[in-house]
């Protein structure tokens, strides 16, 4: 199994190296009288990042104690990710009101909530936010590609 204390810093080191390659490909302005260019600051940060991650890996290797591994991502967090992304997709397609009503109801059904009060609260919340934003603050909420 991958050790997160080694894997994450290694991933950041790899990404920093990718950034350094990208930085070297930054466009050059036609006229440049500045002593340092657009790539200076990001390059310094990427190098610092590599140093920090190397220190983190060494630190971990040095005092490696048997640690209780906690699962990084549980089934509930996977549901959370997909719910979040699903809601964002739905809101883009059908707009705030239908997406939120469907999303909230689906979420309560997924967790097998039986109390009708929770469903009523959810729907009132969705309508209250709609009223607050669109009528009081005059901020338009997503209308959805399908109804636009």
Partner 1 sequence: MMEYLLNGFADAFSMAVFPVLVLGVLGGVILGALPGLTATMGVAILLPFTFGMAPTPALVMLIGVYIGGIYGGSIAAILLKTPGTPASAATVLDGHTMAIKGLAAKALSIAAVASFIGGLISTIVLIAIAPILADFALRFNAPEYFALALFGLTIIASVSAKNIMKGLLAGTIGLLVSMVGLDPISSVPRFTFGILDLYSGINIIPVLIGLFAISEGLNQLEKLSSDKQDIPPKFDYKLLSFSDFKKILPTTIKSGLIGTSIGSVPGAGADISAFACYNEAKRVAKNPEEFGNGSMHGLAAAESGNNGVTGGSLVPLLTLGVPGDAVSAVLLGALIVQGLTPGPLLFTQNPEIVYGIFSSMIVANIVMLIIGFLGIRFFCRIIEVPKIIMIPIIIFLSVIGAYAINNSMFDVGIAITFGLLGFILNKLDIPSSPILLAIILGPMAETNLRKSLILYEGSWSFLYDRPIALAFILFAVFSVYSTIKLKKKERLAEEKK
Q: Point out which residues bind partner 1 (CB under 8 A).
A: 4-5, 8-9, 12, 19, 22-23, 26-29, 32-42, 45-46, 48-49, 52-53, 55-56, 59, 70, 72, 74-77, 79-81, 83-85, 87-88, 91-92, 96, 100, 103-104, 107-108, 111, 113, 118, 121-122, 125-126, 129, 133, 137-142
CA 148, chain centre distance (Å)? 27
To partner 1, the closest distance from the beta carbon of 34 in angstroms equals 5
To partner 1, the closest distance from the beta carbon of 2 in angstroms equals 12
* Cα 64 from Cα 108, distance rounded (Å): 43
To partner 1, the closest distance from the beta carbon of 133 in angstroms equals 7
The answer to whether 9 and 57 have CB atoms below 8 angstroms apart is yes
To partner 1, the closest distance from the beta carbon of 32 in angstroms equals 7
Q: What contacts 5, CB < 8 A, 6 or more positions away?
A: 56, 57, 60
Burial call 92-109: b when 16+ CB within 10 Å, e when fewer: eebbbbbbbbbbbeeebe
């Amino acid at each position: 199994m991958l050790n997160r204390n080694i894997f994450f810093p290694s991933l950041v080191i790899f990404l920093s190296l990718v950034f350094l390659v990208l930085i070297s490909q930054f466009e050059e302005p036609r006229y440049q009288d500045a002593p340092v260019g657009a790539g200076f600051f990001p390059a310094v940060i990427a190098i610092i990042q590599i140093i920090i991650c190397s220190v983190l890996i060494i630190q971990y290797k040095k005092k490696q104690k048997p640690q209780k591994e906690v699962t990084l991502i549980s089934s509930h967090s996977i549901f959370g990710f997909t719910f979040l992304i699903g809601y964002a997709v739905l809101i883009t397609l059908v707009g705030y009101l239908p997406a939120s009503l469907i999303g909230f109801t689906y979420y309560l059904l997924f967790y097998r909530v039986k109390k009708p009060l929770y469903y009523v609260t959810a729907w009132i919340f969705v309508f209250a936010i709609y009223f607050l934003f669109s009528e009081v603050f005059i901020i338009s909420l997503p209308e959805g590609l399908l109804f636009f």
